[in-house]
Structure 1
Amino acid sequence: MSNFRLQDRDVYKNNTINFLRCINFFNMESFLPQICEGLQHMSECVFVVLCQIVGTSQQVTMRREMIDIAEMIDRRITHHGTITMMVSGSQREGFRLKGSDIDIMFWPNNQCVIMDASQSEYYNTANTALILSESSESPPGFTLLRFPTPFADPVVISACVRMNNRLYTSSSLYRELTCSSVVPNSTLHGPCSSGILDGKEYDFAYCFVSDFWPPSVSLSTDRCHSWPNPQVVDDIVRNGCHFVAIGHPLGPHENEEWRISFSRAEYKLVSSMNHCQFLTYGLLKLFLKEVLNQQSDETSKLLCSYHMKTTVFWTIQQNTLPHWSPQNLLGGFWLCFKLLLKWVYEGICPNFFIPQNNLFLTKVHGSAQNRLFLQLNEFYKKGLACLLQSSSIRSYIIDILYNPTLSICMMMSEVDYDVEVADESTQCYYTIAQPCHITKYIHMIEQFVESPMTQYQVVVLQKFTSYVLHLTSFLLQNMYTFAGVNKQLYIAVKISCHMLKLAAKVGCISDMLYIAMYYYKTLRYSEALSVLEMTKVKLAQPYLMYRGSVDRERYNESVGGQSWSTKRRQAVAQDIILSPKICYISELLPEQQSALQNRSIRLMIPVFVMLHFLKFLCYRHIDTTSSQAALNELQVLIHHDQGMYVNNLFRDISWEILGICQQMTGNLQAALYSYQQSLAQYPFHRIQTATQRRIHDVVQSTLHQ
C-alpha cells in the first residue's frame, strides 16, 4: 500500500466523497464507463482488503472443515443420555473478527421435539423422551413445548408448569436453571448464558433439538428458484431445527414459549455462499459495528448481526445482482444496505425462514425507528462514501482513490496458515463420556481413515487419534495394575508404551509428555527423565510454535515446505489434556475428582507447567537437588509469566500444581499461598473442592508443627 502525506489526503477527500456519491442509487448500466471501471477496481481492492480482515476462501474453508469434522467425531462418541454441543453463530460460519463472541448450543440427546404426535413412531420411547411442539397459540417463530408422557429429567421437571391441565416446560424457568451449568458466574442474555472467558465474550444456549422441519416454515424448493439450490434446501430440511429458551415479548405465554432456532440451517446457507457474498456479509458486520452502532446510544442496540445476515439472505435470493464477484462487491453491499433501509422505514424485517416473524417487532418502532431511519437515510445520501466511516477500510479506500492504478496484493505466508491451523486445532475438544468404549472409538478412527478427507480434516483426526491413544494407554495400565496378574500387566505395559509412542508420531512435541507421565506412573523415573530432557530440548527450539507465538523466519527455515504432520511433530506444542475419569498422576487425583464432581469434562495444563511438574516428581526419587531446581523453575514460570506460557484460564490448575509441589517439600507457607492464589483465579477447571481440602490439610499440619 503506498503512503502519502496527510495534506495530500485532505486534498483528495472531497474527490473521494464526490466519486462515491455518484453511485448513490447504484445502477451499473447508468454509469459512465470510466466510473464503472473505477468502481470495479475499487471493489476488487476492497475484496482483497476484506480477505485480509475476514479471511481468504482457503482460511474460511479450513475453519469450517475443522469445526465440522470435530463435531462429527464428537457426535459419534457421545453416548445416549449425554449432552450434545454445536458451535454456532459467526464462529461456525468462518468469521474470526476481533470482538466476535463465541456461540455454543447444548442439548440433551435423549430428548427430542416432534411437530406432530404421529412422528413418535420414529423413536424408541423407552429411552427417548418426546416433546410435542404446539404453535397454534404462539406468534410466528415461537411455540409451546408439551410433554405428552411422564418425564424423569430433574431439570425439566423443575421447569414444568401446568396449563389447561397439560404439562409444559417453561422457557424462563429452564433458562434460569441451566444458566450456570456450563460456566460459573454467567449472566442471562436472551436465551443464553453469557460472560467473558479469557477476554472473549461467549453465549451458551441450552436448548432442545428436533429432527423435523416446522410446518410453518416457508423454505422450499418452490420458493428457492435461484438460491439456495435444491440440494442445500433438502439438506436443511432433513437436519431439522432447535428450540431455544426464550418467548416472544408480545406473545400470550412469554415465559413459557420457546423460539424456533435455525442456527444449523443458517450455517448451511452461509456455507453455500460464494466468497464474494460471504465477504459482503462480513462488510455489513463491520459496517454495523464500526459505523451504525457508533451513531447514538438510542439506536446502537437496535440492529444486530442477525439482521445483517437476514439482509444478505434475502438480497441473494431476490437475485437483483445476478453475478456476485470481486468486481461488484460494493454493488452487493449497496443492494443490501438499500434493503435494510427499506425495512427500517417500514418497520418490518422478515425472518428468512418464517417471513411472518417480524424481527423488528419489539425493538425497531416508534421514535427509535424514526431516529434509526434518519441516520440510515443520511448514509444513503452519501452513497458508498459512508464506508469512509469504517475504521477498518477507510484508509484503503482513500489510497485507492488517490492512486486509481494502485493494486493491493494479498499474500499469506505458509507460516500464517500454519499458525491458524494450529490455533483452530486447539479449539477441537472431545468429551469421551465412557472410557470403556475405547474400542468403538478406535474402530471409528479406522472408518475415518478409509474415507476421503481434506488436509484440514486429517489434522483434526490426528489430534483425536493421539487423544484416544493416550486414554487407552492409561486405561489399560489402570485396569491391569489392579488385576494383579504379572503376565497381563507386562503385556498391557508393552501395548501402552507402543500406543503412546504412536501418539507422539501423529501428534506434536507435547505428546511426548504423556510418555513421561506413563513412565513416572509405572515407577520408571530414569526413563521418564530421559523423555523429559528430549522434550525440553524440543520445546527450547527457537522455531517452536505455541499458542500462536512463533519466530516466523526461523520456523520457515526449519520446517517450511514440509507436511503438517512433520511440522506438528517437530515444531508445534499444545497444552496437556487430562480426562478426569482416568488416573494419569496420583498426585492430581483430588483435582480430577473435584472436576468430575463439578461436571468439568477435562483438565488442561500448560505444557511448560507439566514439564517442570514431571521433572520435580521424577527427581524426588533420584536427586533432591535437581528436584528443587525443577520446583524453582516452576515457581518462576507461574509467578512471573504474563500469559505467554500460562493461559489465564489455566492459572487455577497451574497455581494448584505449584502448591502441590511446595507441600510435598514441606514448604507449607508457600503451599498455602499458592492454593489461595488458585482459588483467586477464574474457576475454569472447577477444582475448588480439592483446593479447599488441601488448604485445610496444610493448616492442620501447620498447627501440629
Structure 2
Amino acid sequence: MDFLSGNVNIDAGSQHLCESVFVRLCQIVGTSVQVAIRRETADIREMVRRRVADNDDVIEMESGSIREGFRLKGSDIDYMNWPNNHRVIWDMSQSEHYYTENKTLILSESSESPPGFTLLELLTPPTKRKVQSACVLMNDRLYISSSLYKQRSQTHLFPGSITHGPCESGELPGGLEYDIADSFACDFWPLSASYWINRCHFWPDRQVVNEIVRNGCHFVPIGHPLGFHEHEEWRISFSLAEHKLVHSMNHCQFLTYGLLKIFLKEVIDKQSDETNKLLCSYHMKTVIFWVIQHNAVPLWSPQNLLASFWVCFKLLLKWVYEGVCPNFFIPENNLFLSKVHGSAQKKMFLELHGLYEKGLACLLQSPSIKSYITNVLYNPRLSICTNEDRMISECDHDKELFNEIYGNTSHFPKNLDHCIKYLHTIELMMGEPLTQYQVIMLQKTTAIILQSTAFTLHNMYTNTGLNKQMYIADRMSCHMLKLAAKFGCISDMMYIAMFYCKTFRFREALYITEMIKVKLAQPGLMYQKHVDPERYTEAVGGQSWSTKMREALAHDIGFNVHTCYINELRPEQQSASLLQIPLFVLLHFVEFLCYRHIDTTLAQTALEELQVLVHHDQGLYVPEIFRDISWEILGICQQMTGNFQAALYSYQQSLTQFQSNKIQNVTLMRIQDLHIT
C-alpha cells in the first residue's frame, strides 16, 4: 500500500488557503526575523560561555524546540550539560588528540548494543566523583552505568522534579516545563553515522555538513529497552547536529515543521487516550528532515505550504503502517521499536488514516488553524498579505529582541581573572563578523560583565587597609558601572545605586534611584514584555537599539552569586545558584537601606511602598517566579525595623512560594533568628 503516491490538487483557491495558513503560522511560530533574533542571540550566549569555560567547568547547552527558534505554547526548555574535562573517543587512535593529565578519556564500545546506543568504558581516572561512583565492572573493565550516572546527577533543581527518560524534568510557575540531561561530549563523528555524510546531496549544503561533523556528538544516559545492557548503555545524541539542520531550513520549511508540531498536539494527540503519547515532536522533526533531504517537495513557498505539510503527513502515515521510523542519522535505529507496535500501532494507523481520508480538512480539527481556513473558505476574495515585514510592528520587533537579550545574558564570572577572561573574549568577538542582533546582544553582555567586574574588584580591596589601592579600585569600579549603564538599559543604573549604597554614599545612591524612578514613570517604558506600543513608538520609534535600550527598556535584576552586591543579602547569595530580583522590589529595598541612615520617616515610606508592592502586585512588577525573594526582602526590612511579627509572616510567605531562587534554608535560618515562639 503506497501512501506516498498521488498529489494534492492545489488550485487558486488552495493557494489562497496556503497563504492564510502561512500568515497564521507566522503569528504562532514567528516571522523569519523573529526566529533569527531568537537563534542569533542564543548563539552569542553559547559562544561566550564556551570560550571562557575552564577545563574543569560543566558546559551547558540549550537544546530542543526553544533553541531551534520556537516559542510555541507548551514548548519546554531543554538543556544538556557535560563535564568539559571528560571526552568520549571511538577508537584508541583518537586519544593522541588529548592531554590525559587534564582530560578523562572514555571509550565507546558499541559491538553488543543496538544501533544508536553504546557502552562507555572508562580509560583514565575520572576527576568527577559522580563518574567514579557510577562505574560498574564488566569483563574486567570499568564501564559508566547510564542508570547510576543519571541517579548521581539528579540535582532536583526545583521542587517536584522527576526522572523522565535521560532527563531530570519539572515544571516552573506558569506551566513552563524543563528537561535537563547530563551527558558526555565527543569531538568526533560516529562511524555508524558516516553514511549520512554521503547521503547529503540536496540538503543540507556541504558547509553545514562539515560543521556538523566537526562538532561531533553527545551521549545521554539511557539504554535501549531491548538491549543486552539497558542499564549500562548510553544513547548517541545528535542534538547539536539537529539544531544546525533546523537552522539551515528556509522559513517555509521551518513553518511546516511548526505546523507538524501543532498538528501533533492539537489533532493527533486528541484521537484517543490509548495513542496520545505514542508519537512525539521528535518524530515530527525526523519526518521533515527526511522529506527535505529526499527533495520530496520541489518548492517550499507560502503558496505551497499545505502541499508540503501533506507530503510530510503521508510519510508519517507510511511509517506508522510499517512500524518503522528511521533515525535521520542512523536509519538502522528504529525510533518506533519499543513504542509503536502491536495493537497500539494498528489503532494509531487507523486514526491517522481516518485523518488522511479527510484530506486537508483534517486541519479544521486544529483550534489554532481552523479559523484561518474557514475565513478563506467563506471569503474567497479575502486579501491576504504574506509580506513578513508588515506582520510585525517596530514595537513588537523590539520586544522580541530585548526579551531574548534579557534571557540570554546570564553570565556570572567567578573571580577577577574570570572577569578579565570574559572581557578579553568579548573584545575578540567584536572583531568578528556579527549580525545586527548579535552586536546589540554583545553590547548588553559587556554591560553585565562590567558590573560583575566592578563589584568583584571592590570586594577584593574592602578592609585590606591599603587606602591607595582601595581608592584606585573604587574609581575603576565607578567608571565601569557608569560605562555599563551607557551600554545597557534603565535597570542597569541600579548597579550604580547598589554600589553607592554598599560604599556608604547614601545620598548619591538616592540620587540615582530618583533618576531611575523618573525613567520608569515615562509612558513609553518597555518593562519585561509590558509596553504601550503607541507610546513606545512615539517616544523612541526609529532610533537605534542602543538608544531604545538606554532610554526605554527595563527588566529584573540578576545577581552574580560569586560576588556581593548588598551586604544584607549575603546569606541569600551564598545559598542560591542564581539570584533574580524584581526591579521595583530592589529599588524600594535600596531606598529603604539608604534612608535608614538619613531620614527614618522616608525609610518607613520606602518600606510601606515595598509592602504594598509585594502584598498586592498581580504579577506585573513581581513575577510569580520571583516572589520567594520578594517576600524575603520585605521580611529583612521589617526585621531591621524591629517588627518581628511582620517579618515572621513575610518569611513564612517566602517559604510558600515556588523556590526558584533556592533560598528556603536561609529563610528558615532568619526565622530562627527572630526568636519568636
Same fold (TM > 0.5): yes
**Do the aligned partners of residues 219 and 663 (structure 1) sit closer, same or farther apart at CA in structure 2, a change above 3 Å counting?**
farther
Residue 121 of structure 2 aligns with an amino acid whose one-letter code is R
Residue 476 of structure 2 aligns with an amino acid whose one-letter code is I
Distance in 2 of aligned mates of 1:194 and 1:111:
24
* 1:167 maps to which of 129, 136, 142: 142
Q: Are the counterparts in 1 of residues 4 and 311 from structure 2 also a CA contact under 8 Å?
A: no
Distance in 2 of aligned mates of 1:312 and 1:550:
37
State the secondary structure of the residue aligned to 1:493: helix
Residue in 1 that maps onto 2:627: 651
Once the two structures are superposed, residues 440-473 of structure 1 have per-residue CA deviations (whole angstroms, 9 ceiling, x without a partner) of 2222221122222112112221221111111111
Q: Are the counterparts in 1 of residues 183 and 219 from structure 2 also a CA contact under 8 Å?
A: yes
Q: Are the counterparts in 1 of residues 173 and 658 from structure 2 also a CA contact under 8 Å?
A: no
State the secondary structure of the residue aligned to 1:145: strand
Once the two structures are superposed, residues 585-636 of structure 1 have per-residue CA deviations (whole angstroms, 9 ceiling, x without a partner) of 11111111222xxxx1x31111001100000000000000000000001111
Residue 491 of structure 1 aligns with an amino acid whose one-letter code is I
**1:583 and 2:564 equivalent?**
yes
**1:46 and 2:26 equivalent?**
no
Q: Which moved more, 1:394-403 or 1:359-368?
A: 394-403
Once the two structures are superposed, residues 668-697 of structure 1 have per-residue CA deviations (whole angstroms, 9 ceiling, x without a partner) of 111111112222222222222322221111
Q: Which moved more, 1:484-493 or 1:248-257?
A: 484-493
Distance in 2 of aligned mates of 1:407 and 1:617:
60
State the secondary structure of the residue aligned to 1:392: helix
Residue 424 of structure 1 aligns with an amino acid whose one-letter code is E
Residue 524 of structure 2 aligns with an amino acid whose one-letter code is Y
Residue 54 of structure 2 aligns with an amino acid whose one-letter code is H
1:574 Cα deviation from its structure 2 partner? 1.2
Residue in 1 that maps onto 2:669: 693
1:43 Cα deviation from its structure 2 partner? 1.6
Residue in 2 that maps onto 1:254: 230
1:24 Cα deviation from its structure 2 partner? 11
1:403 Cα deviation from its structure 2 partner? 2.1
Residue in 2 that maps onto 1:110: 85
Once the two structures are superposed, residues 268-306 of structure 1 have per-residue CA deviations (whole angstroms, 9 ceiling, x without a partner) of 111111111111111111100100000000010011000
Residue 235 of structure 1 aligns with an amino acid whose one-letter code is E
State the secondary structure of the residue aligned to 2:178: strand
Q: Are the counterparts in 2 of residues 107 and 206 from structure 1 also a CA contact under 8 Å?
A: yes
Residue in 2 that maps onto 1:314: 290
Once the two structures are superposed, residues 494-549 of structure 1 have per-residue CA deviations (whole angstroms, 9 ceiling, x without a partner) of 12111111100110101111111111111111111111111111112222111201
Distance in 1 of aligned mates of 2:511 and 2:314:
67
1:27 Cα deviation from its structure 2 partner? 2.2
Distance in 2 of aligned mates of 1:420 and 1:127:
41
Segments of structure 2 that go 5 or more residues without pairing to the other structure are none
* 1:517 maps to which of 481, 494, 498: 498
Residue in 2 that maps onto 1:292: 268
Distance in 2 of aligned mates of 1:357 and 1:375:
25
**1:640 and 2:616 equivalent?**
yes
Residue 677 of structure 1 aligns with an amino acid whose one-letter code is Q
Q: Which moved more, 1:611-620 or 1:196-205?
A: 196-205
Q: Are the counterparts in 1 of residues 222 and 230 from structure 2 also a CA contact under 8 Å?
A: yes
**Do the aligned partners of residues 589 and 99 (structure 1) sit closer, same or farther apart at CA in structure 2, a change above 3 Å counting?**
same
**1:444 and 2:386 equivalent?**
no
* 2:588 maps to which of 612, 631, 634: 612
Q: Normalised by the size of structure 1, how large is the TM-score? A: 0.93
**1:394 and 2:375 equivalent?**
no
Residue 329 of structure 1 aligns with an amino acid whose one-letter code is L
Residue 91 of structure 1 aligns with an amino acid whose one-letter code is I
Residue in 1 that maps onto 2:221: 245
* 1:135 maps to which of 110, 115, 131: 110
Residue 654 of structure 2 aligns with an amino acid whose one-letter code is S
* 2:528 maps to which of 533, 547, 552: 547
Distance in 2 of aligned mates of 1:78 and 1:245:
23
1:252 Cα deviation from its structure 2 partner? 0.5
1:325 Cα deviation from its structure 2 partner? 1.3
**Do the aligned partners of residues 129 and 511 (structure 1) sit closer, same or farther apart at CA in structure 2, a change above 3 Å counting?**
same
Residue 29 of structure 2 aligns with an amino acid whose one-letter code is V
Residue in 2 that maps onto 1:507: 488
Distance in 2 of aligned mates of 1:148 and 1:444:
33
Distance in 1 of aligned mates of 2:374 and 2:418:
60
Residue in 1 that maps onto 2:551: 570
Residue in 2 that maps onto 1:367: 343
Residue in 1 that maps onto 2:401: 421
**1:37 and 2:18 equivalent?**
no
Residue 269 of structure 1 aligns with an amino acid whose one-letter code is L
Residue 49 of structure 2 aligns with an amino acid whose one-letter code is D
Distance in 2 of aligned mates of 1:24 and 1:437:
56
State the secondary structure of the residue aligned to 1:450: coil
Residue 585 of structure 2 aligns with an amino acid whose one-letter code is V
**Do the aligned partners of residues 481 and 434 (structure 1) sit closer, same or farther apart at CA in structure 2, a change above 3 Å counting?**
closer
State the secondary structure of the residue aligned to 1:672: helix
1:179 Cα deviation from its structure 2 partner? 2.2
Residue 525 of structure 2 aligns with an amino acid whose one-letter code is L
**1:89 and 2:67 equivalent?**
no
1:227 Cα deviation from its structure 2 partner? 1.0
State the secondary structure of the residue aligned to 1:222: helix
Once the two structures are superposed, residues 97-138 of structure 1 have per-residue CA deviations (whole angstroms, 9 ceiling, x without a partner) of 011111111111111111111111111111110111111100
Distance in 1 of aligned mates of 2:343 and 2:239:
31
Distance in 1 of aligned mates of 2:113 and 2:290:
25
State the secondary structure of the residue aligned to 1:104: strand
Residue in 2 that maps onto 1:157: 132
1:150 Cα deviation from its structure 2 partner? 2.4
Q: Which moved more, 1:469-478 or 1:235-244?
A: 469-478
* 1:458 maps to which of 439, 450, 461: 439
* 1:592 maps to which of 556, 568, 573: 573
Residue in 1 that maps onto 2:190: 214
Distance in 2 of aligned mates of 1:251 and 1:411:
50
Distance in 2 of aligned mates of 1:76 and 1:185:
34
Residue in 2 that maps onto 1:477: 458
1:400 Cα deviation from its structure 2 partner? 1.0
1:323 Cα deviation from its structure 2 partner? 1.7
Distance in 2 of aligned mates of 1:142 and 1:554:
56
1:418 Cα deviation from its structure 2 partner? 1.1
Residue in 2 that maps onto 1:19: none
Segments of structure 1 that go 5 or more residues without pairing to the other structure are 1-22
Residue in 2 that maps onto 1:7: none
1:350 Cα deviation from its structure 2 partner? 0.2
Residue 275 of structure 1 aligns with an amino acid whose one-letter code is H
1:44 Cα deviation from its structure 2 partner? 2.2
Distance in 2 of aligned mates of 1:388 and 1:356:
36
**1:411 and 2:384 equivalent?**
no
Q: Are the counterparts in 2 of residues 477 and 492 from structure 1 also a CA contact under 8 Å?
A: yes
**1:78 and 2:78 equivalent?**
no
Distance in 1 of aligned mates of 2:358 and 2:667:
61
Q: Are the counterparts in 1 of residues 4 and 315 from structure 2 also a CA contact under 8 Å?
A: no
Residue 68 of structure 1 aligns with an amino acid whose one-letter code is D
Distance in 2 of aligned mates of 1:77 and 1:182:
24
The number of residue pairs the alignment matches comes to 669
Distance in 1 of aligned mates of 2:556 and 2:249:
35
1:26 Cα deviation from its structure 2 partner? 5.0
Q: Are the counterparts in 2 of residues 179 and 186 from structure 1 also a CA contact under 8 Å?
A: no
Q: Are the counterparts in 2 of residues 609 and 634 from structure 1 also a CA contact under 8 Å?
A: yes
Residue 212 of structure 1 aligns with an amino acid whose one-letter code is F
Residue 80 of structure 2 aligns with an amino acid whose one-letter code is M
Residue 185 of structure 2 aligns with an amino acid whose one-letter code is V
- Tell me how large the CA RMSD over aligned residues is: 1.5
Distance in 1 of aligned mates of 2:251 and 2:118:
35
Distance in 1 of aligned mates of 2:89 and 2:517:
55
